[in-house]
Amino acid sequence: MAGKKDRREAMVDYQVAARGVRDPHVLNAMREVPRERFVPEPLAEFAYEDTPLPIEAGQTISQPYIVALMLEAAEIQPEDRVLEIGVGSGYAAAVMSRIARRVHAIDRHEELTNLARSRMADLGYDNVVIRSGDGTQGWPENAPFDVILVAAGGPAVPEPLREQLALGGRLVIPVGDAGEQRLMRLTRIDEESFVEDDLGAVRFVPLVGAHGWTNAGRTATHGGGSEDERTVKVVAAHAEALPGIDHPDFAKFVDRFAGARIVLLGEASHGTSEFYRARAAITRRLVEGHGFTIVAVEADWPDAAAIDRHVRGRPTRAPEPPFQRFPTWMWRNEEVAAFIGWLRDHNAKREPVAQTGFYGLDLYNLTASIEAVLSYLDRVDPEAAGIARERYACLAPYGSDPASYGRMAISEGYARCEAAVIDQLRDLFGNARDYAASDGDDFLDAAQNARLIANAEAYYRAMFYGAAESWNLRDKHMAETLELLLAAKGESAKAVVWAHNSHIGDARATDMGRIRGELNLGQLCREAHGDRARLIGFGTHDGTVAAATDWGGAMEINQVKPSLPGSYERLFHDTEIERFFLDLREGVHPDLRSALRAERLERFIGVIYRSDTERWSHYANAALAKQYDGWIWFDHTEAVQALPAHSAQGEKDLFPSGQ
Ligand code: SAH
């Protein structure tokens, strides 16, 4: 784990400067102030994340970028006198104190002002004065101020604050109802007039006071019991109750999506049995009844390729059994094994062209991809294999830790292996006609591996530019792989995709897309196929889940906490219907869609689950009806039945591998 200083530098570079904040005063001050000292102890590890965090008194510390944006807009100068309304954690005031001569700050919560005061004292920031009270009245005794910064959103600009602004002074304040706030800057031109600039949409906690909102409930987005109760009723009215997963009619609801080219099936964790079994049942129905012949999953291509050979009764090629890398339980589980067994039986009765293939969309198993390309070329073109071997040798030193390649490339400022992997890909495609003539499926496999290697080379470099860049490369790789599969199987080919909700639910309707600039597979499929791509999300209230506490750690069976009040999950739980499907397609149930378009928390559990910081590790804001075309609910769920990753010598591997 990088040190605090490195993480602070990275925060300023990637979250702030990369988004266009240029003011050197702001950038330098943010490089200096230890943000982890301004959040509650258990959240210190998240202090440099690109997100707001909860602090004492039910308030929040603003996202680093928002602090930077406000401070830059305020054009703080070294000689300025500054007033902050809503000191909260004290972080923004601390940053301003590194730039300006004197900072005055107010918060309505005494608990917060006491904490902020002691933090300033500990850090030796002695030019900050803090008091508690209603900041909408300003601080007349110390006026005028060159800068007034308001860190909470009011219905309008409080009159006293206008009055306490010096000539030429800047007042930065979010204005508007919860969810609809705009960040405004007022610059005082003379006694009477102000220039107003609209700096864009933002979300802040409410400004509560004489010139703000009258009480916190007025603008609280979720506490309004009666509105939630109405939403629960609308959901219950349209929920299509589902029989048990093993019932022959369980997946019948999916018939309405039979005309789609791509049906994407999500999951709210990587370790829940019901999500796997439901996807298997739905996929069976799409394959048997509606002509889907591609099953593409969020797994590494070479590992899935071994399964593909198995389900089609072809001899194995991979030297290693598939899915040996962390997190093994994501694929090595009884639920997936049962589905693979079914697919093999299904294919056994069919001609190769009518068979359904099993493919991986992900790009993490670089070593196996390299081996696969080389062994393919060894068979079809030994001379080309020699050249490829030399090119891929460039990546060999980083095989077990490809992230170290990215680190090296960044520190050298030079993508050492980029040209080699791209040349190799070009050569392979240059010979496509000759190669594919001998065995189309084998060529497709090798070409995908070569493309994966080229994308992975870029992916591991992008990891060091920031989370959004590498995430976007990965999801674009997935979308590209899916398009190539569809193209390879012809005009009428149809695909079922299994991936996490975070890849499938349209990113434009979540914090991912709106705040972090991330796109995803579901969004890309919608953009390319419109209504012919159907996105189905999954959710649960409580139960158990298979997950690790840290990346690379051992699998544990964890209790899933009951869903949070105010979350989408809690609404669905409150319907008291155990299993159901919601049709969210446009025009089907307009009242349901509009009830589920508000931004609420939605839970995302991946291969890691941390219940102690659950709200911050696993919930994000999303507008569910915009994310998905359908939603499947299991109120209570259980962990997947994991199979051993390594079978003892001589013991039969319980997971199908074609070995
Ligand atoms: N700059 C802070 C943001 C805190 S959130 C940080 O980065 O930590 C906004 C704060 O505004 C809350 O702490 C809330 O208590 C405070 N607040 C809301 N209305 C207020 C008012 N009328 N006067 C003073 N503080 C107020």
With bands split at pLDDT 50, 70 and 90, how would you rate the model's confidence at 246? very high
Residue nearest to atom 26 of ligand 1 (CA): 86
Does one domain contain both 33 and 129?
A: yes
Q: Is the CB of 112 under 6 A from ligand 1?
A: yes
Give the model confidence (pLDDT) of 388-397 as tens digits: 999 999 998 8
Judged against a pLDDT cut of 70, whether residue 659 lies above it is answered with: no
Q: Is the CB of 207 under 6 A from ligand 1?
A: yes
Give the model confidence (pLDDT) of 467-481 as tens digits: 788 899 999 999 999
Q: Is the CB of 150 under 6 A from ligand 1?
A: no
- Residue 651 covered by a domain: no
Does one domain contain both 123 and 34?
A: yes
Q: Is the CB of 134 under 6 A from ligand 1?
A: yes
- Start-to-end C-alpha separation, the chain: 38
With bands split at pLDDT 50, 70 and 90, how would you rate the model's confidence at 658? low
CA of 264 to the centre of ligand 1 (A): 42
CA distances from residue 520 to 480, 486, 535, 569, 631 in whole angstroms, order as listed: 12, 18, 12, 22, 18
Give the model confidence (pLDDT) of 344-386 as tens digits: 999 999 999 999 999 999 999 999 999 999 999 999 999 999 9
CA of 249 to the centre of ligand 1 (A): 53
Ligand 1 pocket test: which of 63, 108, 117, 132 has the largest number of ligand atoms within 8 Å of its C-beta? 108
pLDDT at 278: 98
Structural domain span for residue 12: 4-220
Does one domain contain both 130 and 252?
A: no
With bands split at pLDDT 50, 70 and 90, how would you rate the model's confidence at 224? very low
Residue nearest to atom 11 of ligand 1 (CA): 86
Q: Is the CB of 109 under 6 A from ligand 1?
A: yes
Ligand 1 pocket test: which of 96, 147, 204, 205 has the largest number of ligand atoms within 8 Å of its C-beta? 205
pLDDT at 222: 38
Q: Is the CB of 151 under 6 A from ligand 1?
A: yes
pLDDT at 458: 92
Judged against a pLDDT cut of 80, whether residue 214 lies above it is answered with: no
CATH number for position 31:
3.40.50.150
Q: Is the CB of 209 under 6 A from ligand 1?
A: yes
**Taking a C-beta distance cutoff of 8 angstroms, is the pair 305, 628 a contact?**
no
564/548 Cα distance (integer angstroms)? 21
Average pLDDT over residues 296-318: 93
Does one domain contain both 189 and 265?
A: no
Stated pTM of the model:
0.71
pLDDT at 649: 61
CA of 163 to the centre of ligand 1 (A): 20
Q: Is the CB of 71 under 6 A from ligand 1?
A: no
Query: If you search the block for the tokens 């005309």, which residue do you land on?
Result: 259
Judged against a pLDDT cut of 50, whether residue 425 lies above it is answered with: yes
**Taking a C-beta distance cutoff of 8 angstroms, is the pair 175, 198 a contact?**
no
Residue nearest to atom 10 of ligand 1 (CA): 86
CA of 106 to the centre of ligand 1 (A): 8
For residue 271, the Cα-to-chain-centroid distance in whole angstroms is 17
Residue nearest to atom 17 of ligand 1 (CA): 86
Q: Which residues pair with 333 in a beta bridge?
A: 642
**Taking a C-beta distance cutoff of 8 angstroms, is the pair 486, 261 a contact?**
yes
Judged against a pLDDT cut of 80, whether residue 648 lies above it is answered with: no
With bands split at pLDDT 50, 70 and 90, how would you rate the model's confidence at 400? confident
Ligand 1 pocket test: which of 109, 120, 128, 159 has the largest number of ligand atoms within 8 Å of its C-beta? 109
CATH number for position 245:
3.40.1660.10
CA of 60 to the centre of ligand 1 (A): 8
CA of 600 to the centre of ligand 1 (A): 22
Give the model confidence (pLDDT) of 256-284 as tens digits: 999 999 999 999 999 999 999 999 999 99
Ligand 1 atom showing the smallest separation from residue 136 Cα? 22
324 Cβ contact list (under 8 Å, min separation 6): 645, 646
- Residue 401 covered by a domain: no
Among the residue ranges 15-19, 100-104, 183-187, 259-263, the one predicted with the least confidence is: 15-19
Catalytic residues, which ones? 62
Based on the number of CB atoms within 10 Å of its own CB, is 311 exposed (0-12), middle (13-18) or buried (19 or more)?
buried
**Looking at the 3D structure of the chain, how many domains does it have?**
2
640 Cβ contact list (under 8 Å, min separation 6): 271, 272, 273, 276, 329, 333, 334, 335, 546
Q: Is the CB of 53 under 6 A from ligand 1?
A: no
Average pLDDT over residues 620-647: 93
What is the phi/psi pair of residue 658, to 5°? 75, 5
CA of 55 to the centre of ligand 1 (A): 11
Does one domain contain both 169 and 296?
A: no
pLDDT at 647: 62
pLDDT at 290: 97
CA distances from residue 205 to 128, 161, 202, 215 in whole angstroms, order as listed: 23, 18, 10, 12
Residue nearest to atom 23 of ligand 1 (CA): 135
CA of 646 to the centre of ligand 1 (A): 54
Judged against a pLDDT cut of 50, whether residue 221 lies above it is answered with: no
Residue nearest to atom 13 of ligand 1 (CA): 88
451/459 Cα distance (integer angstroms)? 12
Q: Is the CB of 212 under 6 A from ligand 1?
A: yes
611 Cβ contact list (under 8 Å, min separation 6): 558, 559, 560, 561
Ligand 1 atom showing the smallest separation from residue 211 Cα? 22
pLDDT at 524: 98
- What is the rounded average pLDDT for all residues in the chain? 92
Does one domain contain both 195 and 301?
A: no
What is the phi/psi pair of residue 488, to 5°? -65, -30
Q: What does the chain come to in residues?
A: 659
**Counts of helices then strands in the chain (DSSP H, E):** 25, 20
Does one domain contain both 180 and 88?
A: yes
Ligand 1 pocket test: which of 87, 157, 203 has the largest number of ligand atoms within 8 Å of its C-beta? 87
Residue nearest to atom 19 of ligand 1 (CA): 207
Does one domain contain both 194 and 66?
A: yes
- Residue 652 covered by a domain: no
384/361 Cα distance (integer angstroms)? 26
Q: Is the CB of 152 under 6 A from ligand 1?
A: yes
- Residue 414 covered by a domain: no
Q: Is the CB of 63 under 6 A from ligand 1?
A: no
Q: Is the CB of 174 under 6 A from ligand 1?
A: no
Q: Which two tokens stand for residue 522?
A: 């579901």
- Residue 387 covered by a domain: no
Name the H helices within 439-496.
440-462, 467-489
Residue nearest to atom 2 of ligand 1 (CA): 88
Does one domain contain both 14 and 107?
A: yes
DSSP 3-state of 574: helix
Ligand 1 atom showing the smallest separation from residue 134 Cα? 23
Average pLDDT over residues 181-202: 90
CA of 471 to the centre of ligand 1 (A): 33
- Residue 204 covered by a domain: yes
DSSP 3-state of 170: strand
Judged against a pLDDT cut of 80, whether residue 657 lies above it is answered with: no
pLDDT at 645: 79
CA of 404 to the centre of ligand 1 (A): 42
Query: If you search the block for the tokens 């996490």, which residue do you land on?
Result: 500
Does one domain contain both 162 and 144?
A: yes
Domain boundary among 161, 189, 220: 220
- Residue 322 covered by a domain: yes
Does one domain contain both 283 and 163?
A: no
Does one domain contain both 240 and 291?
A: yes
Helix (H) / strand (E) containing 571: helix 568-574
pLDDT at 534: 98
Nearest to 73 by CA among 201, 196, 169, 172: 172
CA of 88 to the centre of ligand 1 (A): 5
- Residue 658 covered by a domain: no
With bands split at pLDDT 50, 70 and 90, how would you rate the model's confidence at 414? confident
Ligand 1 atom showing the smallest separation from residue 209 Cα? 22
Q: Is the CB of 266 under 6 A from ligand 1?
A: no
